Chains A and B, each alone.
Chain A
């Protein structure tokens, strides 16, 4: 079937509006005042966008790109927004459809999509995110992007058009699922920055339990509005790239589109205000054929839904039934820890570098992995951080695995780090053990150590004999030591280690050698 996935838009089907009581809404929307605006604006845009291919060539004007995002997030709920039908990914088509979702005549308010577009549940917010950016990528910048509004709406059904047979197949499983639409102001400047901001939003939503925000399952979809202009001049004509469903493709699509617009303009062309899609195989954006895009949705207020009034501590009526009203302040107190706080805590508690805290949170499941290891091992947090971020993550990336797919469990790593911590094995032996553990042959770290005889030599007398034999066998090196060649002692240590089959503790070897050489 020649099928492209489009939104279900019926003839005359439009978006209704929900009335939301305006009394307390504004208050709730503006209670959080943006705190760090300094990083926003043209200067930072230019500074932050070197890796998009818009470096000015000699004699050319510099281009600045402006990117705004609309992020559709599927709300993690058991049922749809206005019906009891279940929400479940990859269920058989049309298996999760109530009378209401099928908009049977007489079910209210059904038969059109409902959005809060004109009276959103929140407005005028901001999202703070940090990243290494800039030419040298050495400086961590904390930036904010303004959030124009957050609105609730219903997802539409899914239609599959078969052009060949001019048939349409409809799946209403998705119809009526609650969506959160986050509209960001055009404060972003490139694909990478957009990806960082969306990732931060994704983590916040996951922390709140608002959404699983799994992009691969379509729980988070992004539409990007992109334009380019010369700094100091009015913004350019924008295009919209729709339905971006992975961070990587989103960044690619945005950067491609920025470059395409610059090239187009530099060649004397014009940018059309159009909707485009991103072909991830070709790595380029192209105009969509969707006729519905230019449609006037003909919004009207939805009379079937009474106003939802949001209260806070000051506006809450004294006689209000706490089960029946929404109290913003009460909800605020119940908020779980947000990613920025988690990162701060990691830095404080474990003394890790801020960038390490970012990495731990950015990789899905890595923080939980880290915390499990910490819980089970006696090893220093710094050592755990080092092993998780360097060794484990390195292996995962090399094999393109998710944290959840790691062959080494947190418990296994914890055991390994315990062996290292108690000086039962050397760190090079530990690396060897880790590699064995990665093969996932069901052996514990201790088993591997004993099978491969990787434990450190605990017998001082034996080690002293080994040292003596090495000194006896290498008179020239001993002479070098005596002649105060600073590298010679290390050579001796290396020789002893080799003789011990890497099982000796280098610091102990050094101590014995120094004693024997009366240094």
Chain B
């Protein structure tokens, strides 16, 4: 049951094949069994069981709230959840219990979803590995998959060889990939949803900026943050997006226009589609395996009649630097509120109020956060503002224009890699610092955030090592439905294999009725 898609399990609930409480308990038990993944910071067991009970009542009375009623979901721990600790994986917010729900959380709950818990991340979502949070790194479930382990030498199977999930929403990715929930919320500022989705073999969706409310999402970069969606298939993403999208008076940047829930047709004709391949995304660091999958995916579109053309996004190479300047600047101001006065950590230092502020922030933030605050404050100094912040804003405008030009030339969707390579072992990952890793890992993803476009990472194949590889599709602003439609088509063509975690499940709860074990058609 847990291996099913959200849509399938929703149907099962409606038909009474399973009750919300049974489903909830199964997930809770699996969460316990996969505790070593460190996917969850907080497991909201009591809340979830109570929600399941209420959902069960509704089903019994034939008053189901819809597709999400009784569906276990998880939420990244940088979304405010009323009555449930929200930490951002930081000492600064340890013990902080918000009095309100983020709009997206509220929308899920209003639909009857069961909140299983809050998922792990890099501190304040600053990172690309989910390795830099105060609760420790998240382990990629694929480290323990049959597909990966079968291809390892025996000496590489030790406990220290586990892989990172990518980040910063690695906890949400691991939670969905290990079947402890059917959908999870992440956030995506520079790729934080798409990157771990690619590494964990999931669909990771970043909606258009302004489509989904950020109210209650603890901000990283206000002009780029969006709530992201993790599911195991595109249809499930469309269901969740249908619930989340829409104007929110508490987020002035959400669009006012009424939003229709996305309708993804079962059959799609791609022959009228024009797929753009941005030539600047072919970088030397790209693994040859991913490069070849990318080109085979392009061929796949072409073979079905789509027009596939090379396009140029000439300012791509400046994007990551520009992103870092803007990100640090916003971080510097967004983090100003954490002073130990009103909530969260407060240092015992009591020499003076100023000393208390300083000690609170020294103790509360990790090096990565403090580093970004420091550089952001540098960029915003009067004498530096023009040279850094304003220049970065100008470059951002050029990057936006690059995308506009590409779409204006007739391209419907851009096809790119999501990451440079598949997931690496933790010990390998931490050889470089957070900044270097972020610069490498966000390379294909952050430009989309700068332009506010919708993008989705679709798992397309397993690498030679048996690890998932995702490709990214980028759509026109607010053409999220079209993008998901194309994503679904690609998903259908590639037949990405389901993760084989049976070895680790002693009670066989993951026996997958519909398990598709064929290898990907792209490999």
The CA-CA distance from A109 to B253 in the complex, in Å, is 11
Cross-interface CB contact of A166 among B218, B353, B381, B382, cutoff 8 Å: B353
Residues of A within 8 A of B100 (CB): 99, 104
Q: Determine the residue in chain A with the shortest Cβ distance to B88.
A: A105
Proximity bits, B357-374, A CB within 8 Å = 1, else 0: 110010000000000010
B297 at the interface (CB under 8 A from A): no
The CA-CA distance from A298 to B283 in the complex, in Å, is 36
B252 touches A16 (CB 8 A): no
Q: Determine the residue in chain A with the shortest Cβ distance to B210.
A: A306
CB distance from A36 to the nearest CB of B (A): 37
With contacts A10-B357, A14-B336 taken as known, whether A306 is within 8 angstroms of B252 at the C-beta atoms is yes
For B88, B333, B341, which residue has the most chain A Cβ atoms within 10 angstroms? B333
Proximity bits, A301-312, B CB within 8 Å = 1, else 0: 011111000000
Stretch from B64-72, B91-99, B135-143 forming part of the interface with A? B91-99
Residues of A within 8 A of B252 (CB): 108, 304-306
The CA-CA distance from A99 to B253 in the complex, in Å, is 19
B295 at the interface (CB under 8 A from A): no
The CA-CA distance from A166 to B352 in the complex, in Å, is 5
Residues of A within 8 A of B80 (CB): 104-106
B22 at the interface (CB under 8 A from A): no
The CA-CA distance from A16 to B389 in the complex, in Å, is 13
Chain A contributes a number of interface residues (CB within 8 A of B) equal to: 33
**Which A246-304 residues have a C-beta within 8 angstroms of B?**
296, 298-300, 302-304
Residues of A within 8 A of B192 (CB): none
Cross-interface CB contact of B336 among A11, A107, A166, A304, cutoff 8 Å: A11
A105 touches B339 (CB 8 A): no
A167 at the interface (CB under 8 A from B): yes
A111 touches B86 (CB 8 A): no
Cross-interface CB contact of B337 among A103, A161, A168, cutoff 8 Å: A103
A102 at the interface (CB under 8 A from B): yes
The CA-CA distance from A264 to B389 in the complex, in Å, is 42
B329 at the interface (CB under 8 A from A): yes
B373 touches A12 (CB 8 A): yes
CB distance from B318 to the nearest CB of A (A): 20
The CA-CA distance from A14 to B353 in the complex, in Å, is 17
How many pairs, one residue from A and one from B, have CB atoms within 8 Å of each other in the complex? 112
Cross-interface CB contact of B332 among A12, A102, A306, cutoff 8 Å: A12
A369 at the interface (CB under 8 A from B): no
Residues of B within 8 A of A471 (CB): none
B380 touches A300 (CB 8 A): yes
The CA-CA distance from A105 to B219 in the complex, in Å, is 8
A170 at the interface (CB under 8 A from B): yes
The CA-CA distance from A299 to B389 in the complex, in Å, is 10
The CA-CA distance from A111 to B329 in the complex, in Å, is 14
A104 touches B380 (CB 8 A): no
The CA-CA distance from A13 to B373 in the complex, in Å, is 11
For B337, B352, B361, which residue has the most chain A Cβ atoms within 10 angstroms? B337
B354 touches A108 (CB 8 A): no
Residues of B within 8 A of A387 (CB): none
* 10 A-B pairs with C-beta separation under 8 A: A11-B357, A12-B336, A105-B86, A106-B79, A106-B219, A108-B252, A111-B333, A111-B336, A298-B332, A304-B251
Write the residues of chain B forming the contact surface with A, with a CB cutoff of 8 angstroms. Answer: 79-80, 86, 88, 93, 96, 98-100, 102, 214-219, 222-223, 250-253, 329-330, 332-337, 339, 341-343, 350-354, 357-358, 361, 373, 377, 380-382, 385, 389
Write the residues of chain A forming the contact surface with B, with a CB cutoff of 8 angstroms. Answer: 10-14, 16, 99, 102-112, 159, 161, 166-168, 170, 296, 298-300, 302-306
**The 3 A-B residue pairs with the shortest CB-CB distance in the complex, in nearest-first order:** A111-B337, A303-B223, A298-B380
Kindly list 20 other residue pairs between chains A and B, CB separation below 8 angstroms, not including A106-B98, A303-B253.
Answer: A10-B339, A11-B357, A12-B361, A12-B373, A13-B337, A14-B333, A14-B336, A105-B88, A106-B79, A106-B80, A106-B102, A106-B215, A108-B219, A112-B337, A170-B342, A298-B382, A299-B385, A300-B380, A300-B389, A304-B253
